[in-house]
Amino acid sequence: MKVYVRAPMSEIRLQELKELFEEVVYDPWNKTGERFYEKEMLAALKKVQPDILITELDRITEAVLSGYEGLKVIGDCRANPANIDVAACSAHGIPVLCTPARNATAVAEMLVGMLIAYMRNLLPATAWIKDGQWKEGTTPYYTWMGNELHGKHVGFVGFGAVGKAAAHLLDAFGCSIRFYDPYVKDTPYTKCELQELFATCDIISIHLPVLPETEKLISRELLYTMKQDAIFVNTARSAVVDMEALQDMAKEKRIKGILLDVLASEPPLPDDLSIIENGNVLLTPHICGATYEVTDHQSDIITERLKAWKKQEQLERIVYNYRSLKKTL
């Protein structure tokens, strides 16, 4: 079988793929920095003629799958295949393999870093120095006094791999961890209802996938129950939050801080960027999961899952669309 690799892979795992399959074509998107959209993806598949596709950002649509019918399996180096029409894959009998938790450590570490940077005023303090404001008679100790993480009540909305990794780190800082997730039961942390979490926590951190039941789950009503000295963090997806309400909260300075790694449009539209005009917002360009180690993690996970798929083992665990494919697998 021929493998077409469009995702960055570690050298070790790439070599392993070459030993597992007859041919491997390695053309990762980060060589040019450009993902393939429908037209480009279809053209590339027709040119390479692979049996297996490993992707990360490329758009896989019904038109792509109808235009090239040679794929036996798709490996997607993401926790959730947001770039793939999974229903179309199921209709064409194509299993989809994902890489859950590939960036859990990266996002968790960045979350802690963002909180410390914001709560200790690191960015404005360094800008203050660059602007030549540290002069005789100034008192930076008091000018830039901030807050500690220790003792803060942190509420996680969604408690999967990323939430648990972040909770583990914040636990070490002496934070009190609470969470809302109807699907998680056995943890040492306190489970709460959503309304209680928002009303009582000092920090709210969002870790939800985009599903019909989670879109705008974080409503205006919920947001406005937060304490005035609370901090809201979203390193997941903007679609799960009422962004108009969040914009209003930023303008009103309704809470102490809003920390975001995601926006409604990426790259952002002018309306999306207006939120950073308020001094209580820290925005990063969707880089919480951007570490070199994530490439290693996703390489390990997708290679192991392809090995299991080849042996037709653990399919219920590794195939994202297993239920809809159950009759054909």
Do 95 and 129 lie in a common domain?
Answer: no
Judgement on whether residues 141 and 92 belong to the same structural domain of the protein:
no
Q: Structural domain of residue 273, as residue ranges?
A: 104-283
- pTM of the entire predicted model: 0.91
Number of structural domains, the chain?
2
Are 116 and 98 in the same domain?
no
73-116 pLDDT, tens digit per residue, is 999 999 989 999 999 999 999 999 999 999 999 999 999 999 99
95 and 204 share one domain: no
Rg of the Cα atoms in the chain: 22
Across the range 300-323, mean pLDDT stands at 97
Whether residue 113 is found in the same domain as residue 94: no
> At 198, which CATH number?
3.40.50.720
For the beta carbon of residue 29, count every other beta carbon within 10 angstroms. 16
**Looking at the structure, do residues 211 and 254 belong to the same domain, yes or no?**
yes
| pLDDT value of residue 33 | 86
Tokens representing residue 36 in the block: 């393939």
Do 38 and 181 belong together in one domain? no
Domain co-membership, 184 together with 319:
no
Residue 327: predicted pLDDT: 62
138 and 235 fall within a common domain: yes
Looking at the chain, how many residues does it have? Answer: 329
Q: How far is CA 258 from the centre of its chain?
A: 17
Distance of CA 177 to the CA centre of its chain: 21
C-alpha pair distances (Å), 294 with each of 7, 263, 286, 300? 12, 22, 14, 10
CA distances in angstroms from 291 to 176, 233, 245, 250, listed in the order given: 28, 20, 31, 29
Catalytic machinery residues: 237, 266, 286
- Residue 200, helix vs strand vs coil: helix
* 185-196 pLDDT per residue, tens: 889 999 999 999
262 and 117, same structural domain? yes
Do residue 92 and residue 134 come from a single domain?
A: no
**CA dist 53 → 74, 240, 254 (Å):** 5, 30, 47
310 vs 97: CA distance, rounded Å: 12
User: Are 254 and 266 in a shared domain?
Assistant: yes
Does the structure show a pLDDT above 70 at 328?
A: no
